[in-house]
């Protein structure tokens, strides 16, 4: 006879936090959101600790190299999507690792034989006004000059004018050699009153820019997540099919942490993947696994050697696994049970395996609830897909800006490996949809606002750290009526009244 859970599973929206005592130290500025992402033994420190409890989902519509850099600047980690060729994923990882804090790779390059019209089209596409002029117009070519917006006047110049006629030639440029420190580069910027300092290698090829405007930006990102070489930390997704080829390539590219991307992690395929990694690399290669929704699934992956375990099946906004297959569990219930299993595992073995809540986050306050219920950090897809830095197109639909967002289980992604159960190399049916999400501006602004709410709520609970929140939090279930009570009700909102007048 089948096993039946006595209690129904619940979502985050069915819970609220009850305030606790807050003393004078409980102010948002004192809150630390540091959290481990890799397992560690009692009394030891984790190999990687994040400064904020947020990672981006392993999705084509979310985690490209641009978003990875933006999130690392805020203190979190992106997991570059694995539903692409091994070479392309490794190249994305390499681009992130090549982006030292303060050093910006040149993605806007042009040939001296190109025209002003070509330059303006390039500027429109990239949004960058500083352009390296290289012999062949690529980032690998030898630098022969530089163009900024001060070098031309669109209204007074023929669009057919060659770039070589108005660029600043190399012999008149002040530039640095590869290997210069950021501090030394910033000194050169200020000493020579420059807005941009090109950094060239010994062969004269462009390595990076250092911008004056980034000096203040760098100072305003105290949570930047960097490795020992001042490079941004980045993760990458792998699958259980081609890991023998993909893992070495990602390691060669410099990846800091891997994660098996699968809709269901309680499987021999994940065990085999982790075993292969441990046999060849020991614990030097960090790898998370999942997804699971109960104690049994957690213990299985923890015993296999996973560095962290992801929780959640069917709770994502574009996921239709529950509709399609009837598999899953309410995200809040899943997090609560797995958190208890993690704590029990720690007591028994002395090994703390962090857990990640993946899916089910609709409102910012759900983040705080997930952390209070025991999650060490959160994996977010829809949330990050809305920002400028996500890889998808920004469109205007019915007068509103949106960004495209599709699931890895959709026909558009064709990520059959994520749903692989040892069958044919194809996606048999969809477990995700293709959609739009409201455009939300820059990642930095969005993340900082969301985490300001998290910090404020933690102070209401009398907690200054995530472990303290998990220890002190008091949670109550809510009725359908109290959910209505929690929003604006029994009033006429000003926006509504204004539109009615018109």
Strand 355-358 and strand 287-292: the pairing is unpaired
User: Of 26, 304, 319, 459, which residue is the catalytic one?
Assistant: 319
DSSP code at position 212: T
DSSP code at position 155: G
* Residue of 314, 364, 418 whose CA lies nearest to 13: 364
Q: Which DSSP helix (H) or strand (E) runs through 365? A: helix 364-372
Q: Tell me the CB-side half-sphere exposure of residue 157, using CA atoms within 13 A.
A: 18
CA distance 417 to 262: 8
DSSP code at position 157: S
CA distance 266 to 329: 14
Strand 400-406 and strand 434-438: the pairing is antiparallel
Give per-residue burial for 128-163: e unless 16+ CB within 10 Å, then b: eebbbbbeebebebebbbbbeeebbeeeeeeeeeeb
Tell the residue number behind the tokens 């462009």, with chain if given: 206
For residue 278 the two structure tokens come to: 């441990």
For residue 77 the two structure tokens come to: 């980690």
* Residue of 334, 329, 345, 330 whose CA lies nearest to 373: 334
User: Of 329, 386, 418, 455, which residue is the catalytic one?
Assistant: 418
Whether 418 is a known active-site residue: answer yes
CA distance 458 to 464: 7
Residues serving a catalytic function are: 319, 418
């Amino acid at each position: 006879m089948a096993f039946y859970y006595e209690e129904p599973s619940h979502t985050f929206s069915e819970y609220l936090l009850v305030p606790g005592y807050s003393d004078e130290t409980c102010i948002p500025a004192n809150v630390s959101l540091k959290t481990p992402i890799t397992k560690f033994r009692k009394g030891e420190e984790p190999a990687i600790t994040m400064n904020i409890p947020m990672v981006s989902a392993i999705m084509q519509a979310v985690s490209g190299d641009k978003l990875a850099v933006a999130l690392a600047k805020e203190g979190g980690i992106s997991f570059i999507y694995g539903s692409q060729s091994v070479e392309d994923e490794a190249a994305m990882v390499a681009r992130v690792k090549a982006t030292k804090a303060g050093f910006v790779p040149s993605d806007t390059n042009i040939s001296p034989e190109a025209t002003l019209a070509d330059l303006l089209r390039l500027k429109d596409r990239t949004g960058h006004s500083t352009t390296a002029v290289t012999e062949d117009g690529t980032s690998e070519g030898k630098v022969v000059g530089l163009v900024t917006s001060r070098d031309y006047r669109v209204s007074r110049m023929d669009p057919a004018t060659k770039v070589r006629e108005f660029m600043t030639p190399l012999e008149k440029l002040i530039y640095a050699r590869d290997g210069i420190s950021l501090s030394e580069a910033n000194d050169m910027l200020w000493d020579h009153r420059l807005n941009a300092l090109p950094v060239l290698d010994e062969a004269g090829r462009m390595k990076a820019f250092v911008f004056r405007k980034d000096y203040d930006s760098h100072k305003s990102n105290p949570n930047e997540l960097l490795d020992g070489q001042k490079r941004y930390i980045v993760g990458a997704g792998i699958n259980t099919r081609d890991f023998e080829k993909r893992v070495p390539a990602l390691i060669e590219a410099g990846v800091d942490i891997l994660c098996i991307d699968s809709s269901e992690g309680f499987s021999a395929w994940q065990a085999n993947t982790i075993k292969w990694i441990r046999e060849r690399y020991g614990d030097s290669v960090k790898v998370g696994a999942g997804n699971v929704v109960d104690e049994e699934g957690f213990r299985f992956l923890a015993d296999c050697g996973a560095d962290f375990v992801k929780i959640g099946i069917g709770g994502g906004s574009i996921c239709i696994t529950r509709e399609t297959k009837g598999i899953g569990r309410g995200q809040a219930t899943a997090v609560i049970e797995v958190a208890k299993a993690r704590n029990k595992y720690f007591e028994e073995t002395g090994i703390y395996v962090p857990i990640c809540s993946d899916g089910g986050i609709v409102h910012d306050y759900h983040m705080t609830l997930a952390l209070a219920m025991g999650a060490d950090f959160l994996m977010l897809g829809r949330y990050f897909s809305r920002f400028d830095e996500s890889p998808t197109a920004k469109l205007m639909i019915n007068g509103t800006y949106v960004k495209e967002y599709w699931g890895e289980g959709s026909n558009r992604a064709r990520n059959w490996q994520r749903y692989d159960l040892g069958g044919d190399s194809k996606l048999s049916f969809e477990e995700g949809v293709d959609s739009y999400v409201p455009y939300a501006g820059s990642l930095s602004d969005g993340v900082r606002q969301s985490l300001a709410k998290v910090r404020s709520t933690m102070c209401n609970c009398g907690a200054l750290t995530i472990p303290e929140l998990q220890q002190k939090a008091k949670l109550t279930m809510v009725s359908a009526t109290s959910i209505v009570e929690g929003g604006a009700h029994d009033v006429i909102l000003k926006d509504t009244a204004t539109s009615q007048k018109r």
